[in-house]
Amino acid sequence: MVRALEKYIRPGVKSTPFCPGCGHGILMGLILRAIDESKMDMKKMLFVSGIGCAAWIPSPHFNSDTLHTLHGRAIAFATGAKLYNPELCVMVVSGDGDLSSIGGNHLIHAARRNIDLKVICANNMIYGMTGGQAASTTPKGARTSTTEQGNPYSPFDLCKLVEAAGATYVARYAVTQPLALINAIKKALHHVGFSFIEVLSPCPTQFGRRNRPERPEEIIQDLLRRCILEEEARGLTEEELAERIITGEFMP
């Protein structure tokens, strides 16, 4: 068997910590595929992550320099590294909670300054690693360990947030749209300026078990049914769009 991406995996890494049905492993493969197709030299890259399941995507798995930092502070560390060595291609891979809840201020200000970082946010709409608490991305009404009666708050639209703050490449895709996602990551790799990709990644263990759909294959089918490209959404009514998740490139 030929494992085409094996050279990008750090020697000694035999498995990942992700639960069955988690989307983070799919995202991990797609990032490596985009790097491979872009012919990026991993020696000239730095991967920065915070704390959470998503933060394990690059570290310790990628055979490159990785900086596994403090919860919510990945973008702050990444900014420092990029300023110190502007030649470095700095990619931040972390979770929705890490980047937009505790780390929300770093996110918007790095976008405002248009710092040349490639930020990939694995959005499973919950704090997965710590027991399923509500995040700033948890949908209204969703049950989590801290909102047992349903989340009373509306979530951030992360793409609108960073776009309004000043990000210059912004896209959203689910792990069920692998080719579009690889393409978006390739574009972010070549874009100079603050690039942000929101990746919808299922978490059956913490989100699914408290909500519907619950089972991994049902969550995947649900994403396949609900994700719609921005251009396809244009002709639809508000009612037709109610259940849909709009994906695509929003900036430039």
Ligand X SMILES: Cc1ncc(C[n+]2csc(CCOP(=O)(O)OP(=O)(O)O)c2C)c(N)n1
Going residue by residue from 131 to 170, which x/- string records binding to ligand X, judged by CB under 6 A?
A: ----x-----------------------------------
> What gap in Å lies between CA 190 and CA 60, rounded to an integer?
24
- Decide whether 127 or 173 has the Cβ nearer to ligand X: 127
By the rule CB under 6 A, 104 interacts with ligand X = no
Going residue by residue from 73 to 102, which x/- string records binding to ligand X, judged by CB under 6 A?
A: ---------------------xxxxx----
> What gap in Å lies between CA 160 and CA 250, rounded to an integer?
8
**What contacts 79, CB < 8 A, 6 or more positions away?**
106, 110, 115, 117
Q: Minimal distance in Å, beta carbon 199 to Mg ion? A: 11
| Contact indicator for 227, 200 with CB cutoff of 8 Å | yes
The whole-angstrom distance between residue 65's C-alpha and the CA centroid of its chain comes to 19
Q: If DSSP codes are grouped into helix, strand and coil, which group holds residue 173?
A: strand
Stretch that binds ligand X, among 13-21, 125-133, 155-163, 210-218 (CB under 6 A): 125-133
Stretch that binds ligand X, among 31-39, 51-59, 85-93, 239-247 (CB under 6 A): 51-59
By the rule CB under 6 A, 202 interacts with ligand X = no
By the rule CB under 6 A, 54 interacts with ligand X = yes
Strand pairing report for 169-174 and 245-251: antiparallel
> What gap in Å lies between CA 123 and CA 105, rounded to an integer?
17
By the rule CB under 5 A, 124 interacts with Mg ion = yes
- Decide whether 95 or 193 has the Cβ nearer to ligand X: 95
By the rule CB under 6 A, 124 interacts with ligand X = yes
CA angle 231, 28, 120 (to 5 degrees): 55
Widest pairwise Cα distance in the chain: 52
By the rule CB under 6 A, 47 interacts with ligand X = no
Binding-site ranges for Mg ion (CB under 5 A): 95-97, 124, 128
Binding-site ranges for ligand X (CB under 6 A): 51-54, 71, 94-98, 122, 124, 126-130, 135
